[in-house]
Structure 1
Amino acid sequence: MDKQDAPNKPISFFKKLGPGLITGASDDDPSGIATYSQAGAQFGLATLWTSLLTFPLMAAIQGMCARIGLVTCEGLTVTLKKNYPRPVLYIMLLFSFPAITLNIGADIQGMGAVCHMVFPAIPVSVFCVGITAVMMYVIIRFSYKKIAMILKWLCMSLLLYIVVPFMIKQNWGDIAKHTFIPTIQYNKDFFSIIVAILGTTISPYLFFWQTTMEAEDQAHNGKGIVVDKRVLSEMKTDVNTGMLFSNIVMFFIILTAGSVLFPAGMREIDTVDQAAKALEPLAGKLTYLIFATGVLGTGLLAIPVLAGSQSYMLAETLGWKAGLDKKFSQAKPFYVSIIFSLLVGLSLDFLGVSPIKALLYTAIAYGLTAPVLIAMIMHIGNNKKIMKEYTNSKLSNILGGLTLLLMTAAAVAMIWFLF
């Protein structure tokens, strides 16, 4: 009996995972892949250790967001609106909306460029339009349950990046050294890439998405406002698994670029398609195709999360009916805002906006809002009036405080480097 059940355990475990896995995996979007590839190409294995740093920090903040969603059964925007001055919320939205839209645009452009690289006869713009149309159809046509299932399976595309380094001869002793012993180079370029990695992994839109999805998951599963140790334990497992998965993938992307592109003298990777293209002559066509396929999978996963988080934020602020489980006719403003954000993101390609510039502006906006949002999330997490007996643990507060300090330092460093 036990032997028969054993093969089903991984499947059963995967089925229990939900918002945490999707949130973590969506963090490794095409723009994130470009950042990690640049880190590896520019500094070799020197930034591998950052994955050990970002995992507990991500897990702590996303765990707080998930608990807020479970306990309040409301999105983060609603909680902010109810308990904090309105100007604070509006400032967050003012910075978040352009950043998310630029992020969507950069991801669509990245996916289009990778498709064009594989099928050069078809222009990038045609692929961008097709990708956007597919995104709209899936989000409008399918229910929350169906979309969640699709997103969960798309998470598996990230496993491709774990395979790639094993297709190349590696010095695992050197890899272990750079993973567990931090390497710090005291120059502007190195600190810039560290700031970029922090901004890419700890992104404000994920805070909103995680909170809303936990609340929506509760409502969808009929759990209502019942929160107990079992529900919290399942949430922690889901979030920790998602963040661990995200950071493992980040580690292997840096490793791939650091062990292939850096030794070959390729120091500049501006776009994700450049990273994929550079691998072909150095590591073989199969490696290049696997890397490119992963970009498409992560883009299809991340764009609905980006567009969805922005629309939830807007709907919760303005009091619209919202929910991916609702039909278009039941929540028209919500779905129209999703369509609008996708079209604006798509238009960046036709307006000639460079994806690199889009990512730079995104990083600036995320960098400025992240410390403020983290401080507010920690305040909510320790507010007994809101969280009742489910306030933050001492460990959560320590990790949250460390995240706040690092993200504040990253924001100051980013402004310093820019000006």
Structure 2
Amino acid sequence: MNESPDKPAGSLLGRIWSRLGPGLVTGAADDDPSGIATHSQIGAQFGFGLAWTFVLSFPLMVVIQEVAARIGSVSGRGIAHNLRRHYPPWLLRLVVTLLLVANIINLGADLGAMGAALQLLIGGPEHLYTLLFGVVCIVLEVWLSYPRYAAVLKWGTLSLFSYVAVVFVADVPWMAAVKSLLIPAIDLTGASAMAMVAILGTTISPYLFFWQAGQEVEEQHRHHAKPLCVAPKTAGPELARIRIDTITGMAFSSLVSLAIVFATAATLHAHGITDIATSAQAAEALRPIAGEFAFALFALGIIGTGLLAVPVLAGSAAYAVSEVFGWTESLDARPNDARAFYATIAVATLLGAALNFVGLDPVKALYWAAVVNGVLAAPLMAVMMLIVRNPRVMGRLTVSRSMAVWGWAATAVMAAASLGFFMLR
């Protein structure tokens, strides 16, 4: 007999793995092809100079993603649903509209990068590959049961280790790399400011907030559990699980991001290649410098992370839109029982794929999608902080004062980075 997916494995590693879920997948999806392209450009353009920003962003990622997870687990509803119930309608419409625009651009950039990566590996029609990847992601997300699909996403996170492997293939000067993490090199120029917003935009992204909150709600439905505000006695262990899961996922995301920056800094930047526009271009540029193995790992990683990130992007959009209109919103629902939810997934994915057929400039799409996410994240984070401090939403489980301070600090950093971009540009 097959072991139940809810039954803890016997080994220590198995028990740890069984406790990971929405946080791990969210962190891994953070390193999507758009993020890979952005981090490749950062490493190529600035070398190791901006590596310290990932140390800064890590605690900010953890706190804001934990806030998102708490909204879902405590209230039993997603972010957009809570906005609809407790805040003005115009705020809900603005947030969801901006999320849709950013997600569709990201979907187009990610699917295009996956098609380009496969063309690099085997040749053939790039646009056809882009469309096929979109269709595959739709089919998997719509037709697989939620437990099976969640397991697919969870195991898909292992594809990101390809970028850790690239670092060991590249000739990284580790003294310089470690120094760049510990000693900030601050450059008050427009290019540096835009790069910092892009880094924060790819690591602290609005679609990840909606996804993790929605996934916590899905997990409650899967286990037939009550929202924590209704059953506060179960809150202690569950909130501890959320914290461990989120810290692990964000640490994994930061490690992979740093691996990409280190690899491109040690290879491309060191050889005078400072302008990388797409993740596929970064893979191709690695070939003559780091060899065929590094090139293949990098290209395969783009496809693997894309297969992980595209469903997260489309799914977060579907959660938000469904919560606006009160539609059934669940990846565990049958297609006939949640037609509008699954239709939103399909339409968002296909619109993203279609952008690659209408002359979308992948150079601008990848980088500016990250910048747009960075600019939009601050007001959304402020709204989330209002939600988790609101007793009408969270009951007795509003976040502690210390966590609120960290959450508002993360919001202030995102707002300052966005403001700095416009002032120094």
Question: Normalising by structure 1, what TM-score?
Answer: 0.95
Q: Distance in 1 between matches of 2:171 and 2:376?
A: 41
Q: CA deviation at 1:364?
A: 4.9
Q: Does residue 1:219 correspond to 2:226, yes or no?
A: no
Q: How does 1:118-267 map to 2 (within 5 A)?
A: 118-120=121-123, 122-225=124-227, 226=231, 227-267=234-274
Aligned to 2:408: 401
Q: How does 1:66-145 map to 2 (within 5 A)?
A: 66-120=69-123, 122-145=124-147
Q: Distance in 2 between matches of 1:399 and 1:76?
A: 19
Amino acid at match of 2:320: M
Amino acid at match of 1:308: G
Q: CA deviation at 1:7?
A: 8.5
Q: CA deviation at 1:393?
A: 2.2
Aligned to 2:382: 375
Q: How does 1:312-351 map to 2 (within 5 A)?
A: 312-351=319-358
- Percent identical residues: 38
Deviates more, 1:94-103 or 1:160-169: 160-169
Amino acid at match of 1:88: L
Q: CA deviation at 1:177?
A: 0.8
Q: Distance in 1 between matches of 2:217 and 2:248?
A: 19
Q: CA deviation at 1:24?
A: 0.6
| Aligned CA-pair RMSD | 1.6
1:196-230 Cα offsets, whole Å, 9 max, x none, are: 10111111111111111111111111222234211
Instruction: Give structure 1 stretches of 5+ with no counterpart.
Output: none
Deviates more, 1:253-262 or 1:397-406: 397-406
Q: CA deviation at 1:406?
A: 1.4
Amino acid at match of 1:97: L
Amino acid at match of 2:264: A
Q: Distance in 2 between matches of 1:371 and 1:254?
A: 25
Q: Distance in 2 between matches of 1:372 and 1:117?
A: 39
Aligned to 1:20: 23
Q: Distance in 1 between matches of 2:408 and 2:328?
A: 35
Q: Distance in 1 between matches of 2:214 and 2:35?
A: 23
Q: CA deviation at 1:361?
A: 4.7
Q: CA deviation at 1:169?
A: 2.9
Report if aligned partners of 2:197, 2:371 keep a CA contact under 8 Å in 1.
no
Deviates more, 1:385-394 or 1:56-65: 385-394
Report if aligned partners of 1:95, 1:365 keep a CA contact under 8 Å in 2.
no
1:5-26 Cα offsets, whole Å, 9 max, x none, are: 9982112211211100011110
Q: CA deviation at 1:413?
A: 3.0
Q: Distance in 2 between matches of 1:274 and 1:417?
A: 28
Deviates more, 1:88-97 or 1:379-388: 379-388
Aligned to 1:413: 420
SS in 2 for 1:390: coil
- Distance change >3 Å, CA 364–CA 350, structure 1 → 2: same
Q: CA deviation at 1:116?
A: 0.5
Report if aligned partners of 1:99, 1:361 keep a CA contact under 8 Å in 2.
no
Deviates more, 1:71-80 or 1:401-410: 401-410
Q: CA deviation at 1:300?
A: 0.2
Q: CA deviation at 1:360?
A: 4.7
Structure 1 segments, 4+ long, off by >6 Å, are: none
Aligned to 2:3: none
- Of 273, 280, 286, the residue aligned with 1:279 is 286
Instruction: Give structure 2 stretches of 5+ with no counterpart.
Output: 1-7
Q: Does residue 1:31 correspond to 2:38, yes or no?
A: no
- Of 48, 51, 61, the residue aligned with 2:51 is 48
